[in-house]
Structures are given as structure tokens and as C-alpha cells.
Amino acid sequence: MTPAQLIAKCAGELDQAQVSFGQGTLQAADEAAWLVLYTLGIPLDVDSDTLTDEVSPEAELAVQNMLNQRIHARQPLAYLTQEAWLQGVSFHVDQRCLIPRSLIAEVLAEGSIDAWLNPQASTALDLCTGGGSLAVLVALAYPQLQVQASDISADALAVAAINIERHGLQDRIHLSLSDGFQTTQGEMDLIVCNPPYVNTHSMALLPPEFQAEPRLALAGGTDGMDFIRQLLLEAPQYMKDDGILVLEIGHEYEHFITAFPQLEVIGLSTSAGDAQVLLISKAALLA
């Protein structure tokens, strides 16, 4: 078989097995391409017209083995390849952290927050940094910022350290083990936060691939707002007067507005709509 034929075959098997997507890819064709190209050692940005040479029987077997692990163990592909890409930036991933996919990455890439961010900004915090992807993307997007990145999980921080080194950002990103703002130093121009926000009902319905991720990274309590309630209470102490908070809430907008009916927020546009990533000023938090 050729790589192109293998991709088509794997896509069919992934669809038939009804695996879940959403941890790096959104459909079987993309997941199959990633699986086959990774296993054959072909760069992901290869011209698909060139995937026409027959592969060896050994390579075909390696692809089948990878596919079996994906389907039968219901493991997310990123945990099998130990790599994920966000806005074209590569990250190490393993079971110790959430697979990077935050919509905040889009907002950073598109400069959607620039109108609110002080041009003299110098400090940022990635709260709940997990494997460090948002801290790295903040540091790459805004070279003038010193970035603090914290998380309650020592396991996740070990992955973040790998990613910070991968991108040579050890001088600009400072990691700390922290429950919420516990170790935050000083006041921030920018806080980004993709917290655990999945409500209890949704947690119970998670497909196995998502259950393979750390529960601590996802579960946000009955209405998904447990962490966010504390965050919104404490954040002003750690923000400069014109500082901004960029908060991901996923599909929890209804719960969010029920919990914080008076809070003035700005919905930032993303590929998933404009109700999943919110921009909140310090003034709005104090109002």
C-alpha cells in the first residue's frame, strides 16, 4: 500500500470504530493522516500528491499497530505520538498534562487582544499552565513580556519545563507550583487562563479519550465554575489597573452568566464562536 492508501484505510477504520476527536484533530481523515505520517516518519506538511510510493510490509504493520492502540485502548493520538501542534508550534505531550488545544491560542495568534493590552506591557501570567503551551505562545507573541506560569500539578509542570526548553524560553517563562494565585509575584498586564471548567454532568459523559486526560485539568464542579469563582474574586489583586484577563470557558457560557450576571465581559472571536474565550478588565472585576 502507499501512504495515501494507508491514510484512507485508517480513516475508514477510525470512523467505523466511532472513536472521539477533538484532541488535536476534528475528523477521521486528519487523524488518519497524522497517525500514518507520524508512524512512517514523514513530515506532517508533506505535499499529499507525493504519497504514492509503496511502503514496506514492516511499515504497514507499524501503522496497523498504532491504529490498534488508538482504537482499542481509546488513547488520544497525541499521547501515542507525544507531540501536539497549536498554531503551528510544536509541544511535547504526555499523560501528565492536558493535550494542548486552547482557543486562547487563536486569540494570541490573531492579535485579538492587542487593542486592550497596554503597549508598554511587561508582565503576564499563564494561570493553570498545564504543559505550558499558552505560556510559550504568549512569550512568542509578545517578546517584551516576562511570563509567570503556574499550576497545581507538579506532573504538568514537568511537561511545561520540557516545552519551555524546547522553545528556548527559560529566561522569559518562570514556572511555579501553585494553587491558584498562591505564588504569583506582582501585578500583571495580562493574565491568560484555561482553567478546569467542565461541569459535573458533562464530566460523566466524557468519552474514554477525554477520560484519559488528568481529571484535575477538566473537572470544574457542579456548574463548572468552582475554580473560576475564586479566580474572579482574587484576580484584581494581581492585575495592573489597565490589566486584562483572558479566560477560556468552553461550552459553559450559560453557567458563566448565571454565576456572574452583572459582570461585563467581551467575547473574543474564535473558530468556535465568540462565547468561549472572554476578555475581562480589572475595572469590570471590581465593579
Binding residues for ligand SAM, rule: CB under 6 A, are 97-98, 100, 102, 128-131, 133-134, 151-153, 156, 178-180, 194-196, 216-217, 227
Closest distance of CB 103 from ligand SAM, Å: 9
- For the sheet with 188-193, list strands across it: 173-177, 146-151, 123-127, 188-193, 239-248, 277-281, 266-267
Our CB check for ligand SAM shows the closer of 236 and 242 to be: 236
Residue 139 in contact with residue 160, Cβ under 8 Å?
no
Euclidean distance between the first and final Cα of the chain, in Å?
A: 64
By C-beta, is 63 or 279 nearer to ligand SAM?
279
Per DSSP, the three-state class of 148 is: strand
The Cα angle at residue 91 between residues 2 and 137, in degrees rounded to 5: 130
- Under 8 Å CB-to-CB from 33, ≥6 apart: which residues? 7, 11, 44, 48
The pairing of strands 83-86 and 146-151 is unpaired
Q: State the nearest-atom distance from the C-beta of 160 to ligand SAM, in Å.
A: 9
Minimum gap (Å) between residue 283 Cβ and ligand SAM: 25
Residue nearest to ligand SAM (CB): 130
- Give the shortest CB-76-to-ligand SAM separation in angstroms: 13
Pick between residue 1 and residue 158 the one whose CB is nearest to ligand SAM. Answer: 158
- Residue number with CB closer to ligand SAM (51 or 137): 137
Nearer to ligand SAM (CB atom), residue 60 or residue 151 = 151
Identify the CA nearest to 249 among candidates 274, 276, 272: 276
* Secondary structure of residue 134 in the 3-state scheme: helix
Q: Shortest approach of ligand SAM to residue 268 CB, angstroms?
A: 15
Element spanning 285, H or E: helix 282-286
For residue 133, which of 117, 110, 157 has the smallest C-alpha distance? 157
Distances (CA, A) of 230 to 115, 154, 182: 27, 21, 12
Q: How far is the CB of 243 from ligand SAM (least distance, A)?
A: 19
Residue the block writes with cell 507538579: 154
- SS3 assignment, position 287: coil
Closest distance between ligand SAM and the C-beta of residue 198, in Å? 8
Question: Nearest-CA neighbor of 184 among 197, 175, 193?
Answer: 175
Write down the least CB distance from residue 200 to ligand SAM, Å. 15
Closer to ligand SAM by CB, 115 or 154: give it: 154
- 249: cell is 470557558
Nearer CB in complex with ligand SAM: 39/163: 163
Question: Quick one: 3 or 256, whose CB is closer to ligand SAM?
Answer: 256
